[in-house]
Amino acid sequence: MRVAMIGTGYVGLVSGACFADFGHVVTCIDKDSGKIERLMRGVMPIYEPGLDELVERNVREGRLSFTADASQAVTGADAVFIAVGTPSRRGDGYADLSFVHAAAREVAALVDGFTVVVTKSTVPVGTGDEIEALMREVDPSIDVAVVSNPEFLREGSAIEDFKRPDRVVVGLDDERARAVMHELYRPLSLNETPMIVTDRRTSELIKYAANAYLAMKVTFINEVADLCEKVGGDVQQVARGIGLDKRIGAKFLHAGPGFGGSCFPKDTRALARTAADAQAPMKLVEATIEVNDRRKQAMAGKIMAALGGDLTGKVIGVLGLTFKPNTDDMREAPSLDVVPALIAAGATVQAFDPEGREAQQLLPDMQFKSGPYQAAQGADALVILTEWDQFRALDLDRVKGAMRTPLVVDLRNIYLPQELRARGFTYVSVGRP
Ligand SMILES: NC(=O)c1ccc[n+]([C@@H]2O[C@H](COP(=O)([O-])OP(=O)(O)OC[C@H]3O[C@@H](n4cnc5c(N)ncnc54)[C@H](O)[C@@H]3O)[C@@H](O)[C@H]2O)c1
């Protein structure tokens, strides 16, 4: 199949490269010509494990190409994917659909003959109808089937998630699209990945319901962690004790500094907005948003308390700035709340992240160090904010030797309290004695 992918970001680039690897001929399009130019030189615009090799191979074998000019790729495509951003609209929490609408208009002017237009971006229920209407406005005689095909990949394991998903969700109201969607995902049917075909609105809702549920689960265990700290108890053992119950499941039960990233925060906000507007308010989702926002802000207070309440003149080393490991994505990362609050309270913050280079621009008052030991140098506290693997196996004697005071605040619970204490550290973690 000939595929055009509008938007070559985390989702568009990974999906495009994986569809090419399935054997389709894919052109990835982006209006950011700098990004396209770098991709044409083989330079990845994002950090995602395995992506450079996947892209290089599919380009070399002639199935994957890049362009800033949509016309070359859209005309004659069997399927045109829209994978542009849908950030929170500033101020009100609704999903900003301006990029999706603009892409739909552009595509409408270019399609030629029957074309399946697939929304991969996460969009509120009813957006498929809007896209269809917009396209007909541009060209009343257009022959398109607009399909919803939400993406569930996780940054950091995006390729594996795309190629071996738990399920593929397809929402369609035009039966002609069914065969095209089956053909696009045919390699997955060989390993029996379930494909759930629903109407378009249901599919749009599935994506938000999934993300809101996961965000709620994280927030639930974070509240259990707070309770453990007050009444005594170990949140990791509580999580294990409940997670082995198959009705609950062990995933997304790791207490931490609150969720961030490019999806959960904006998607919970957008769902809460949709639900309130439809007079079916989702109180659990609203509470999740509120509890999580408060939590991210409270983390600086936790660090401050561990340092005795006064940060004036204190040096704080921070390990990890991205919203999770194995990505360079800084969108709504807890570090963006925690670091400025520490600096405002008088601390000097020196941080290291293996990939979060954008952090230097986003947090200009923070010092960016070249490695974990450099971040620990002369520090009064070392804070673990993102659980990159390389922080799990630090040379603790070297860390201790570098620090002014051996205090570790582990907001990801990656170390064992007894181990750190036996090595002479004061150790504070989340929801554990
Ligand atoms: N990042 C994730 O982990 C993830 C996972 C699942 C779903 N999603 C959803 O996928 C969508 C895309 O997310 P992302 O993280 O890939 O965003 P992103 O910001 O990384 O990428 C979007 C890209 O689209 C480009 N773009 C915007 N308008 C365009 C246009 N008219 N023509 C061509 N290019 C255009 C931008 O330049 C940008 O490169 C969002 O709706 C998001 O919610 C993201």
If you take atom 11 of ligand 1, which residue's CA is the nearest one?
A: 121
Predicted local confidence at residue 356, as pLDDT: 82
Q: Which bin fits 126, alpha (ψ -120 to 50), beta or left (φ > 0)? A: left
Query: Distance from the CA of 306 to the center of ligand 1, in angstroms?
Result: 39
pTM of the model: 0.96
Looking at residue 90, its pLDDT comes to 85
Name the residue with tokens 């049917």: 189
Q: Would you state the pLDDT for residue 425? A: 98
Nearest CA to ligand 1 atom 35: 7
Q: Which atom of ligand 1 is nearest to the CA of 12?
A: 16
pLDDT in tens, 164-215: 999 999 999 999 999 999 999 999 998 899 999 999 999 999 999 999 999 9
CA 223, 224, 226: angle at the middle one, nearest 5? 65
Q: How many residues are present in the chain?
A: 433
Return the residue whose CA atom lies nearest to atom 7 of ligand 1. Answer: 151
Residue 154 alpha carbon, nearest atom of ligand 1: 3
- CA of residue 188 to ligand 1 center, whole Å: 23
Distances (CA, A) of 410 to 23, 180, 306, 427, 429: 45, 48, 11, 7, 5
- pLDDT at site 357: 81
Write the CA distances from 224 to 211, 268, 297, integer angstroms: 20, 20, 18
Query: How much is the pLDDT for 342?
Result: 98
Tell me how far the alpha carbon of residue 113 lies from the centroid of ligand 1, in angstroms.
Answer: 26
Cβ contact 105:134 at 8 Å = yes
Output the residue whose Cα is nearest ligand 1's atom 18. 9
Per-residue pLDDT tens for 75-119?
999 999 999 999 999 889 999 999 999 999 999 999 999 999 999
Distances in whole angstroms, Cα of residue 100 to Cα of each of 82, 128, 327: 7, 10, 24
Q: What are the residue ranges in the chain where pLDDT is below 70? A: none
Q: How many angstroms is it from 80 CA to the middle of ligand 1?
A: 14
Nearest CA, atom 10, ligand 1: 121
At 31 the pLDDT is: 97
Catalytic residues: 263
pLDDT computed for residue 310 by the predictor: 97
Q: Could you tell me the distance, in angstroms and rounded to a whole number, from the CA of residue 88 to the centre of ligand 1?
A: 13
- Answer for the pair 83, 6: CB distance below 8 angstroms, yes or no: yes
User: Taking CB atoms and a 6 Å cutoff, what residues make up the pocket around ligand 1?
Assistant: 6-12, 29-32, 35, 83-86, 99, 102-103, 106, 121-122, 151, 153, 155, 262-263
